Amino acid sequence: MSAVTASIAASGSILDPVRALQHALYRAAKADPGRRFHALRDKVFRRDVLWRAWVAVRRNDGAPGIDRTTLDQVEQYGVTRLLDELADELKTGRYRPLPARRVFIPKPDSSELRPLAIPAVRDRIVQAAVKIVLEPVFEASSCRAASGSARNVRRTTPCRSSSRSPGGAGGG
């Protein structure tokens, strides 16, 4: 990916193909709430989507996963090289996530510990790519009141029932 494309992908510019993809998915889901999206897998391994996912993972920083690979090590290895490998694994169905590294961190104002699972960097990239693709579809079908974003609607206001259940089996 060129530096210009990477810059656009990181910025979310109007010319950004990832934003265009997200808008298209959102519009399609909004226009037909009953639509089922069968062909989203190929969107996840697009190079621009994976690059945007890398930018999000890099920005968030974070600890290494079970493989102990750090973000700096990924940059030394070559981000483009890793993303190309991930795209190929996703495309051919060979991608397999690693187990998450389990650590325990202290709870605030307590001596108790809470468990925390830390995925490997490569798995965080794939998770971020999946989020980039799926989020617009779910945003289009979510109830505005559930998020508290509707005007003059309290957060406790329930969504109107729809003809589809979340599992898509009907009823509601």
Domain ranges in the chain are 3-147
- How does pLDDT run across 4-50, given as a tens digit for each residue? 445 545 555 557 888 988 888 888 888 887 777 778 888 889 999 99
pLDDT at 77: 97
**What residue type is 37 in one-letter code?**
F
Cα 138–chain centre separation: 12
Q: Is 102 helix (H, G, I), strand (E, B) or coil?
A: strand
How confident is the model over 145-165, as a mean pLDDT? 47
| Cα angle for residues 42, 61, 126 (degrees, 5° grid) | 15
Q: Is 37 helix (H, G, I), strand (E, B) or coil?
A: coil
- Paired tokens of 32: 């037909």
Q: Which of 13, 38, 10 is nearest to 23 (CA)?
A: 13
Q: Which of 121, 146, 145, 130 is nearest to 45 (CA)?
A: 130
Selected residue with higher pLDDT from 147 and 123: 123
Question: pTM for this structure?
Answer: 0.72
